[in-house]
Structure 1
Amino acid sequence: MSAEAGYGTQPDVLAALLAVVGDAGSVLSYDEDRSFAALSLGRFGSVGSSQLDWSGVEVLHRSPAFDGDGLRGLLRGLSRPDELAVVFWSNLAVPSLALEVGLVARHAEAILECCFACWVYLADSGSLIEFQDGEGFTAGRVPE
């Protein structure tokens, strides 16, 4: 199965999250996902299959936290509440979601429960937050 054919085939993983954000969240199509990924995730190398290689990148903060409070703290320090955020999960079968940072902060626990790893791209500030369950958060500037 191609990445495009498999993309978004498990939207039920986001059902609880979408129920609380409603129309304020936008589920991305495969093409939209790939466009945002090219501006963010695609500019990093990888370590293994699901971690970014942060070597040579401006790291802004590392945190051993792996909960909603940890994500909220990073968002407060890196962005404005009305900034566009795109949330990618480690499984392409779970579609990416675009919403305002304030909603990401408000529903941080629900976002982190969707998958064991995710990335939050802060479009206006050009920053990315990586979450790996059990390892915490890393935030940094997206390489040019």
Structure 2
Amino acid sequence: MESLKVKDYMIHHPVTFKQNMSLTAALDKVIESESLGGPVVDEVGTLIGFISEHDLLEKLVKVSYICQDSYIVGDCMSTNVVSVHPDMLIIELAEMMKIGKPKVYPVVDDENRLVGLINRRAVLRAINKNLKACFSHQI
């Protein structure tokens, strides 16, 4: 499992959001893609935040009461985003996931540009593949 890297299991073209996008447009995008949210990027693809279903729910409940779409993604996105590098080992990310809250991590290059997304399911897929390989050698 030491050789398994994030880049081998990440989603290469994740759903992304822009800071000035309306929350209702972001909600449409989340529902359509069945994602849990996603990275917020600027014009050149630099990671500037993350918007989750929870973030949307919190603000959109208010919007539904007043029937006015006055919020944008930038109003409720998290800016303190934990990201990982594509060359990070899956085992290191699994350890982070055990102690950290995020279920989804943006994957960024050395210039903080978004190159992918990795979630718990992808990490479990990598672990499962490794376990199957281990057990097949024992037979």
Higher strand content, 1 or 2: 1
TM-score (norm 2): 0.26
TM-score (norm 1): 0.26
Higher helix content, 1 or 2: 2
